[in-house]
Amino acid sequence: MRKTLALLSFGLLAASSAPLYAAGTVEVTYVEPDKFTDIGWGSVDRERVLRQMTMVLEEFAAKLPDGQTLKFEVTNIDLAGEQRPGRAQDIRVLRGMADWPQVKLRYTLLAGTSTLKSGEANIYDMGYQYGSVDAVGTNLPYERRMLRKWFNENIAPLR
């Protein structure tokens, strides 16, 4: 019984240390982010938004086959809504008018050294307030949903 338990424990430990599936990689660079349309006003806000956007784009690595790399060069970000000064901290107001999220980027999907697809994309969601988004408190929920849709329509079919 002890030997079986030890082997079972060892097997679980080995399985937990190995990845469940292989995944590709995502590389993100920002081209002149100080000129982006709307990523916040202060340097702290801007750095936080860039870090959050990088996390959103890096989520796609899990959907890529092992050995594939998706490179993004983000050339502009315009977050959903508009930022307005508040008493304690600035707030973002979503009016649903001409304040939709927009991300402009160049992308290249590589398999080893071979380019599978590349191009430029101007990704936006004029109806961003319609439909469901991730749970409250999720970073960049409208931008995440918009980018996931673009990825699923343009990159995922090539897997």
Can you give the pLDDT at residue 63? 95
Query: How do the domains of the chain map onto residue ranges?
Result: 22-158
108, 80, 55, 146 alpha-carbon torsion, rounded to 10°: -50
Pairing of strands 68-78, 102-111: antiparallel
48-52: long-range contacts, CB 8 A cutoff, minimum separation 24: 49/77, 49/79, 49/140, 52/139, 52/140
pLDDT in tens, 118-138: 999 999 888 776 776 665 556
Can you give the pLDDT at residue 12? 44
Q: How confident is the model at residue 159 (pLDDT cuts 50, 70, 90)?
A: low
Can you give the pLDDT at residue 16? 45
Pairing of strands 91-93, 82-84: antiparallel
Q: In this model, does residue 45 exceed pLDDT 80?
A: yes
Helix runs in the chain, H state only:
2-17, 43-58, 141-154
Collapse the DSSP code of 112 into the 3-class scheme (helix H, G, I; strand E, B; otherwise coil) and give the result.
Answer: coil
d(CA 158, CA 107): 14
Can you give the pLDDT at residue 83? 64
pLDDT in tens, 52-80: 999 999 999 999 999 999 999 999 999 88
Q: How confident is the model at residue 11 (pLDDT cuts 50, 70, 90)?
A: very low
Collapse the DSSP code of 84 into the 3-class scheme (helix H, G, I; strand E, B; otherwise coil) and give the result.
Answer: strand
Can you give the pLDDT at residue 13? 44
pLDDT in tens, 74-114: 999 998 877 656 554 555 555 556 677 899 999 999 999 99
